[in-house]
Amino acid sequence: MSGNGVASAPARPLIGITGRRIRLDLIRGADPRYGDRCADSYMSDYGIRIARAGGLPVNLSYETDPEAVCHWLAGVVVTGGQDLHPACWGGDPAVVRDVDPRTDPMVHDAERDAYELALVRAALDRGIPVLAVCRGMQILNVALGGTLIADLPPGEVRHLSQEAALTDGTDDHLVTFRPGSIVAGLFGARTVTNSWHHQAVGRCGEGLVVTGRTADGVVEAVELPDAPVLGVQWHPEWMRSDDPTMTWIVEESVKRL
């Protein structure tokens, strides 16, 4: 109840969402006079689904200091995108092209890497729930000292799908979950998911546990035991069906209020 006797609306948690930065001249129809300026870009599907689940989505620019903003946020979503710079995890630097990431959103972006690694570490330090998606799961792993598989070889499971979003994936991309894990509680023993990645978790970072794999052994879910931290290699925001991980991050964030 509020002071005037009127019932208060349920509290809604602030959930930070990461994005990327691009030059305006990449946007079709943009005024060329502003073409060399930058815009921060966020996949709206995250915000839509978080809001639908009862959260308040907040888009985080690179200037949003991780330590400071984690005093306000109740949850964090680290989103998908381009590969992490190999300097972050000991990969081969020969794959890095000398291209400005503001002009090509799929090349390595050291500024984004540094921001998201710092954000994950700040959230973990404060015990804030984290949902790490695709690239985000790899960020989570590297933030804890893990490594990546630089390029998955072709095989029985298609990880870099040619399907367009939205999609629930194809039957070959069946993820099996570890009993007793967060994801097993959300999905049961297994589920089919979408998939758009060519890199994957290699050696797990400190404390991380693998809780989901496809039939070829590729890591599809990781968790920190006894903590509200979940990484998934698929894209819950682009599943045609409602993906319970989006509800999970909101429900876990409510507990922080």
Neighbours of 117 (CB within 10 A): 19
Q: Which of 219, 210, 213 is nearest to 174 (CA)?
A: 213
Query: How far is Cα 59 from Cα 186, in angstroms, rounded to an integer?
Result: 26
Given 85, 116, 134, 223, which residue is catalytic?
A: 134
Terminal-to-terminal C-alpha distance of the chain: 16
Respond yes or no: is residue 116 known to be catalytic: no
pLDDT for position 153 = 95
Whole-number pLDDT of residue 11: 84
What does the pLDDT look like over 191-228, one tens digit per residue?
999 999 999 999 999 999 999 999 999 999 999 999 99
What value does the mean pLDDT take over residues 9-21? 93
Distance separating alpha carbons of residues 117 and 245, to the nearest angstrom: 21
pLDDT at 226: 94
pLDDT at 10: 74
List domains and CATH numbers for the chain: 14-254 (3.40.50.880)
Task: Indicate if the pLDDT at residue 3 is higher than 90.
Answer: no
- Residue 115 φ/ψ, nearest 5 degrees: -65, -50
Q: Which three-class secondary structure string do you get for the chain?
A: CCCCCCCCCCCCCEEEEECEEEEHHHCCCCCHHHCCCEEEECCHHHHHHHHHCCCEEEEECCCCCHHHHCCCCCEEEECCCCCCCHHHCCCCHHHCCCCCCCCCCCCCCHHHHHHHHHHHHHHHHHCCCEEEECHHHHHHHHHCCCCEECCCCCCCCCCECCCCCCCCCCCCCEEEECCCCHHHHHHCCEEECCCECCCEECCCCCCCEEEEECCCCCEEEEECCCCCEEEECCCHHHCCCCCHHHHHHHHHHHCCC
pTM: 0.95
134 catalytic? Reply is yes
